[in-house]
Structure 1
Amino acid sequence: MEVDKDHIHLLIQYEPKMSILEIVRLLKQMTTFHIWKQHEKYLSKHFWKERTFWSDGYFACSIGNVSKEMIQE
């Protein structure tokens, strides 16, 4: 994982039977739930309309059989 000012980079290994959309949806749902659970007082002051955290969009690409070191390079 690498964090930037307005986005994150994740390098994940997943079963080919799952779609990228399913994975992204799960990651966003689970992280939103846990972030809200831990920081509800603070977040409810800034996100009073709905409990969102992530934007709708995402970018994904597949790397195949390349090592983690090669990607980092």
Structure 2
Amino acid sequence: MSPRWTADPNIRRGRSIVHDLHAHLVFVTKYRRGVLDEAMLARCEQVMTDVCASMEAELAEFNGEDDHVHLLVRYPPKLAISTLVNSLKGVSAHYLRKEFTGQINRHLIHGHLWSPSYFAASCGGAPLAIVKDYIDRQKCPE
């Protein structure tokens, strides 16, 4: 006899929750200065992967240019995005400043690598129009 449904390996399960949360994050360097090079981006990805793992999240994708980075992060519902962002930016800035002192120091303003602002968008799953339509079509009890 076959089961009613097949478990999706991408969906995470907890004791009382089933979730699949993703966020697209963008961090910009202070004053959009072109500070980051290929070696720095590679190290930044390593550091951010470790930070995510320590917070029970997963860095699914990472890429960037000389003045910004893009991240796609899978995260648990107990983790606030603002907490994740603060850790990612703080820890990555610490290691990049420490390991690439000569390259970064001439571009830093008051010791800050990242702009205090960031972009965050939820993503994954069905488009909003489909979710709205699905909810609208639910049967109301009579």
User: TM-score scaled by structure 2?
Assistant: 0.40
**Contiguous gaps of at least 5 residues in structure 1:** 67-73
Q: TM-score, normalised by structure 1?
A: 0.71
Q: Which has the higher contact order (CA 8 A, sep 6+)?
A: 2
1:45–1:26 CA distance, 2 compared to 1 (3 A):
same
Larger helix proportion of the pair: 1
Picking from 29, 38, 63, the partner of 2:123 is 63
Q: State the partner residue of 1:50.
A: 110
Identity in percent = 32
Matches within 5 A, 1:1-73: 1-47=62-108, 50-65=110-125
Over the aligned positions, Cα root-mean-square deviation in angstroms equals: 2.0
Return the offset for 1:57.
Answer: 1.0
Counterparts in 2 of 1:3 and 1:32: CA distance versus 1, 3 Å: same
Question: Larger Cα Rg: Structure 1 or Structure 2?
Answer: 2
- 1:5, distance to aligned residue in structure 2 (A): 4.4
Relative to 1, partners in 2 of residues 1:30 and 1:45: Cα closer, same or farther, differing over 3 Å? same
Do the aligned partners of residues 3 and 43 (structure 1) sit closer, same or farther apart at CA in structure 2, a change above 3 Å counting? closer
Amino acid at match of 1:29: G
Q: How many residues align?
A: 65
Structure with the higher strand share, 1 or 2:
2
